[in-house]
Structure 1
Amino acid sequence: MDILASLFNGILVALEPINLGLAIVGVIVGLFVGAMPGLGSVNGVAILLPFTFVIQGFTGGATSPMIFLAAIYYGAMYGGAISSITLGIPGASTAVATTFDGRPLALAGKAHVALVAAALASFAGGTVSNVMFTAFAPLLATVALSFGDPEVFALMLLAFATFVGLGGDDIPKTIFSICIGLVLATVGFDVVSGEPRLIFFDITGFSHGIRFLVLAIGVYGIGEMLWTINTSRYGSSMSNVDVSARAIIDAIKDFRHAWRGTVIGSLLGFFVGILPAAGATPGSLMAYGVAKLTSRNPGEYGKGSIDGVAAPEAANNSASTGAMLPMMTLGIPGSPTTAVLLAGMVIWGLQPGPLLFTNQPDFVWPLIGSFYISNVVAVLINLAFIPVFLWMLRMPFTILAPLIFVLSLVGTFAAYQDMFDVWLMVIVGIAAFFLRLLDYPVAPAVLAIVLGPIAEPKLRQSLLFSDGDFMIFLNRPIAGPITVIALILIFLPLFKLIRDKMRQTA
């Protein structure tokens, strides 16, 4: 009852005119920041962090500035799906998995279905994570602390195991695509030894590695544009997108068919989000893989499955709240964006950690209350703006293609201010186009380059701790069961493939 009373009081503070206004403005800003390729929540929060000092000077406390930044974070999680669905360009790394099925739905003239599913799944994921955050914050913080290097690597291995199903029925090509992603993830300086690795032709631009957004925008911006031009799939279905209120209402009713992906994304996203340094991107990718793995119709994924949109969108919003938990209860950022928020809290004189809930209840509970308010504001604004987003699809492709190209260039340069990355993004896009011509799936490669930099140091640090004994991944109470499940998921499709080949030979 104390928790409910504290939450109720926190929501009342969050509903004060100044805080509610900041939440609305923050959500709108975050929505468009998230939709712009190359920006995302990290850059949006970092850019607007200095502005919060003006807010603090006006309100006289840290609560209102933090509500504003948290609202930007929420809005950006919603906004990342917009460009992924309408243009095929991920607004941020957290929205890459949304592109897999959101873009095919848009190409089939069902962009309104994808946008509604993304908005409602985001709302569901945010609501579930808010409730879990409120009820179980101290307990979940303890669970997060129990995840050491072997447990995190086992979780990443489980994520890789789900990738096998993301490339269709051609398992060898899928594994090859994963290997390409893992190789690209090792380019740059070794995080453990500091030695340079795979710096092709001694080009200094490779020293910082191949950045994920460069790969994502190249594959799903330039690559998708070239693929659309080559196959002429755009057609009249894109120009005849239905923007009527009736179509949106029907799409809201159809969302009930996406309950499976929404549940998976909401729960899995929050669990991955609370792990220190994991964040929303791995959560959304894992949710997509698990949703496909457990689906009764896995063949629909990648062709326009509404569950394929709901799962990653529910996960990235759920994970964004989950990432707040280790930041507030342990003082450990759960994602790059929460690292910026943590810096802001320290600047404002707050001390994140186990005593924050006890010593600063007047800050904590209004902030948690603002999570609920921002979630409601975000879904209402997102649904209201859907006709505007759909209007973009009515533009002729002769205008849309150059727009996609320019946004890809500007988004990549805005993210890193490096022309080498811009050229690399174009080359990656062309390479992705030819891989698709050869019927190689590109999604597993993109996913591998996300989790590779997380999995590799955890693997090596675990082996250093165990003197090279791989049994460390099997004899620990949490890592062991996860590793066994991951190995089963990896080898089971391979056994089925070998069995089918033997039957064909016989």
Structure 2
Amino acid sequence: MEILGLLGDGMLIALQPLNLLLIIAGVTVGLFIGAMPGLGSVNGVAILLPITFLVPPSGAIIFLAAIYYGAMYGGAISSVTLGIPGASTAVATTFDGRPLAMKGRASLALVTAAIASFIGGSVANIIFTGFAPVLASVALSFGPPEIFALMLLAFATFVGLGGEDIPKTVLSICLGLVLGAIGFDQISGAPRLVLFDINAFLQGIGFLVLAIGVYGIGEMLWTIEQTRGEVENNTPKMTARGMVSDAREAMREGWKGTAIGSFLGFFVGILPAAGATPASLMSYGVAKMTSRKPEEFGRGSVDGVAAPEAANNSASTGSMLPMLTLGIPGSPTTAILLGGMVIWGLVPGPRLFVDESEFVWGLIGSFYISNMAALIINLAFIPVFIWMLRMPFTILAPMIFVLSIVGGYAATRDMFDIWLILIFGFGALVLRRLDYPLAPAVLAIVLGPIAEPTLRQSLLLSSGDPMIFFNRPVAGPITIIAIILILLPALKLLRRKKQPAPAGQ
């Protein structure tokens, strides 16, 4: 009951006129920042951080947290309407959100994203409120072996993302791992895979650059090739009755993906160095693996939109937990928030809940208010986003191209990345012609830079003994489950080959 009382006090603080205004402004700004390719929550929070010095510290962190929330919602907008991920956290949403839009169901995809995001954020807020100290200690117990085991479990779900052709899926994963390894070795610092001795490769290949190239330029080229530019406008006008119908369908068809994303996203989000991007990708993989209709994923599955959208919102709240309780940022965005707190004279850590109780519970209360505000604002703007899709493709294609280039340049301000975006776009077109799955490669380049150093650190801790992944209480079960999931598709394939061919063939 004490927690409920503190939460009630926190909500009253969040509902003060200034703080409520900051929440609405932050969510609205975050929504459009998240929808702009190349920006995302990290850049949005960093750019607007100086503005917060004009308000009290509690209002400042509430404003930045609201931007974070809004950006998580907004990332789905360009993923669905244009096929360009607004941020890395929304890449998995593109897998099914864009196919739904191409079928004239963009409103269903956007409504599903909004509802799943709200439920994911709500579940995470409740868990955060009730179990913050306990979960902080759990997150702290995750060392390199546990994190690598979790990444291995994520890779195990990748096999299911490539359809029935397992060899092509494995090759796609290997391609992503190679691209993720370009640059400086994270442990030794030695350069590796620097192609043609071009120094620009030393900084590595940014994930957003790859995502924009593959799902922005690549999707545009594929659509032009398949339709010769004559894309029919089959997007209906948005009505209130239509939104209610879409909401019912989203709840009916996407409840399983929403549940998976809400819980898995939060627990991945609380792990240091993980964050919302791995959480959304892993949730998508698990949702497909447990679905009764896995063949629909990648072709317009409602669950395929719900799972990553619930996960990235849940993970964004989860990443706040280690920041507040341990002083360890759980994502790049929370690292900026942590820096802001230090500037404002607040010391994150176990004592924060005692010494700055009013600030902490005001922030937690704002999570609930921001989540509700983001849902309302997002639903209100859906007709505007649908209107974008009703433009002729002859106008939409150049717009996608320009947004891809501008978004890629805005993220790093490096012309070399623009050339990489174009190369990845044409490469994605070639791979799609050869029927290679793109999703495993994109996912591998995200988790590869996390999995590799944790693998090497674990082997250093055990003097090269791989049993460290099996004899630890948390890493062991996760590793065993991952190995089983990796072997299952191979066993099914072998069993299918051993079955006698039907008579007459």
TM-score interval, smaller chain: over 0.9
- Is residue 117 of structure 1 aligned with residue 112 of structure 2? yes
Write the letter of the residue equivalent to 1:103. Answer: R
- Is residue 486 of structure 1 aligned with residue 486 of structure 2? no
- Is residue 384 of structure 1 aligned with residue 390 of structure 2? no
- Is residue 395 of structure 1 aligned with residue 391 of structure 2? yes
* Alpha-carbon offset, residue 248 of structure 1: 1.1
Instruction: State how far apart, in whole Å, the 2-side matches of 1:188 and 1:3 are.
Output: 47
Q: 2:277 aligns with which of 281, 287, 307?
A: 281
SS at the partner of 1:395?
coil
Instruction: State how far apart, in whole Å, the 2-side matches of 1:238 and 1:489 are.
Output: 41
Write the letter of the residue equivalent to 2:6. Answer: S
* Alpha-carbon offset, residue 2 of structure 1: 1.0
Q: Which residue of 2 aligns with 1:369?
A: 365
Q: Deviations over 1:311-363 (max 9, x none)?
A: 00000000000000000000000000000000000000000001100110010
Q: 2:85 aligns with which of 87, 90, 93?
A: 90
Q: Which residue of 2 aligns with 1:201?
A: 196
Q: Which residue of 2 aligns with 1:315?
A: 311
Q: Which residue of 1 aligns with 2:165?
A: 170
Q: Which residue of 1 aligns with 2:11?
A: 11
Instruction: State how far apart, in whole Å, the 2-side matches of 1:480 and 1:236 are.
Output: 51
Instruction: State how far apart, in whole Å, the 2-side matches of 1:313 and 1:179 are.
Output: 26
SS at the partner of 1:372?
helix
Instruction: State how far apart, in whole Å, the 2-side matches of 1:434 and 1:125 are.
Output: 36
Contact 2:104 2:235 in 1 (8 A): yes
- Check 1:234–1:487 CA distance in 2 against 1; reply closer, same or farther (3 A cut): farther
Q: Which residue of 2 aligns with 1:160?
A: 155
Instruction: State how far apart, in whole Å, the 1-side matches of 2:230 and 2:359 are.
Output: 53
Write the letter of the residue equivalent to 2:215. Answer: Y
- Check 1:505–1:468 CA distance in 2 against 1; reply closer, same or farther (3 A cut): farther
* Alpha-carbon offset, residue 437 of structure 1: 0.5
Q: 1:340 aligns with which of 333, 336, 339?
A: 336
Contact 1:109 1:237 in 2 (8 A): no
Contact 2:152 2:482 in 1 (8 A): yes
Instruction: State how far apart, in whole Å, the 1-side matches of 2:204 and 2:494 are.
Output: 36
Q: 1:214 aligns with which of 203, 206, 209?
A: 209
Q: 2:58 aligns with which of 48, 59, 63?
A: 63
SS at the partner of 2:426?
helix
Contact 1:108 1:238 in 2 (8 A): no
Instruction: State how far apart, in whole Å, the 1-side matches of 2:211 and 2:82 are.
Output: 13
* Alpha-carbon offset, residue 495 of structure 1: 1.8
Instruction: State how far apart, in whole Å, the 1-side matches of 2:112 and 2:501 are.
Output: 45
Number of residue equivalences: 501
Within a 5 Å distance, the mapping from 1:318-333 to structure 2 comes to 318-333=314-329
SS at the partner of 1:29?
helix
Write the letter of the residue equivalent to 2:382. Answer: I
- Check 1:168–1:253 CA distance in 2 against 1; reply closer, same or farther (3 A cut): same
Instruction: State how far apart, in whole Å, the 2-side matches of 1:252 and 1:502 are.
Output: 45
Write the letter of the residue equivalent to 1:215. Answer: L
- Is residue 53 of structure 1 aligned with residue 53 of structure 2? yes
Q: Deviations over 1:199-219 (max 9, x none)?
A: 000001100011100100000
Q: Which residue of 1 aligns with 2:450?
A: 454
* Alpha-carbon offset, residue 232 of structure 1: 1.2
Q: Deviations over 1:281-300 (max 9, x none)?
A: 00000000000000011111
Q: Deviations over 1:82-128 (max 9, x none)?
A: 00000000000000000000000000000000000000000000000
Q: Deviations over 1:435-461 (max 9, x none)?
A: 000000000000000000000000000
* Alpha-carbon offset, residue 233 of structure 1: 8.7
Instruction: State how far apart, in whole Å, the 1-side matches of 2:236 and 2:228 are.
Output: 15
Contact 2:103 2:234 in 1 (8 A): no
- Check 1:234–1:280 CA distance in 2 against 1; reply closer, same or farther (3 A cut): farther
* Alpha-carbon offset, residue 249 of structure 1: 1.3
Q: Which residue of 2 aligns with 1:32?
A: 32
Instruction: State how far apart, in whole Å, the 2-side matches of 1:221 and 1:93 are.
Output: 13
* Alpha-carbon offset, residue 177 of structure 1: 0.2
Q: Deviations over 1:170-197 (max 9, x none)?
A: 1110011000000100000100111111
Instruction: State how far apart, in whole Å, the 2-side matches of 1:204 and 1:505 are.
Output: 55
**Any gaps of 5 or more consecutive residues in structure 1?**
56-60
Instruction: State how far apart, in whole Å, the 1-side matches of 2:388 and 2:238 are.
Output: 11
SS at the partner of 2:432?
helix
Q: 1:231 aligns with which of 216, 226, 231?
A: 226
Contact 2:80 2:106 in 1 (8 A): yes
Q: Which residue of 1 aligns with 2:122?
A: 127
Instruction: State how far apart, in whole Å, the 2-side matches of 1:241 and 1:417 are.
Output: 38
Instruction: State how far apart, in whole Å, the 2-side matches of 1:504 and 1:184 are.
Output: 41
Instruction: State how far apart, in whole Å, the 1-side matches of 2:230 and 2:469 are.
Output: 51
- Check 1:6–1:233 CA distance in 2 against 1; reply closer, same or farther (3 A cut): farther
- What TM-score do the two structures reach when normalised by structure 1? 0.98
SS at the partner of 1:175?
helix
Write the letter of the residue equivalent to 1:7. Answer: L
Instruction: State how far apart, in whole Å, the 1-side matches of 2:263 and 2:11 are.
Output: 24
SS at the partner of 2:319?
helix
Instruction: State how far apart, in whole Å, the 2-side matches of 1:202 and 1:145 are.
Output: 40
Write the letter of the residue equivalent to 1:346. Answer: V
**Any gaps of 5 or more consecutive residues in structure 2?**
none
- Check 1:79–1:340 CA distance in 2 against 1; reply closer, same or farther (3 A cut): same
SS at the partner of 1:50?
helix
* Alpha-carbon offset, residue 236 of structure 1: 5.9
* Alpha-carbon offset, residue 243 of structure 1: 1.4
Contact 2:105 2:235 in 1 (8 A): no
- Is residue 102 of structure 1 aligned with residue 97 of structure 2? yes
Contact 1:108 1:237 in 2 (8 A): no
* Alpha-carbon offset, residue 499 of structure 1: 2.5
- Is residue 147 of structure 1 aligned with residue 150 of structure 2? no
* Alpha-carbon offset, residue 255 of structure 1: 1.6
- What TM-score do the two structures reach when normalised by structure 2? 0.98
Write the letter of the residue equivalent to 1:275. Answer: L
* Alpha-carbon offset, residue 501 of structure 1: 2.5
Instruction: State how far apart, in whole Å, the 1-side matches of 2:381 and 2:23 are.
Output: 17
Write the letter of the residue equivalent to 1:341. Answer: L
| Stretches (4+) displaced over 6 A | none
Q: Which residue of 2 aligns with 1:58?
A: none
Q: 2:289 aligns with which of 272, 288, 293?
A: 293
Q: Which residue of 2 aligns with 1:414?
A: 410
Moved more, 476-485 or 492-501: 492-501
- Check 1:5–1:171 CA distance in 2 against 1; reply closer, same or farther (3 A cut): same
What's the % identity of the aligned pairs?
71
Q: Which residue of 2 aligns with 1:444?
A: 440
Q: Which residue of 2 aligns with 1:187?
A: 182
Instruction: State how far apart, in whole Å, the 1-side matches of 2:500 and 2:50 are.
Output: 65
* Alpha-carbon offset, residue 504 of structure 1: 5.7
Contact 1:284 1:311 in 2 (8 A): yes
Q: Which residue of 2 aligns with 1:250?
A: 245
CA RMSD between the two structures: 1.2
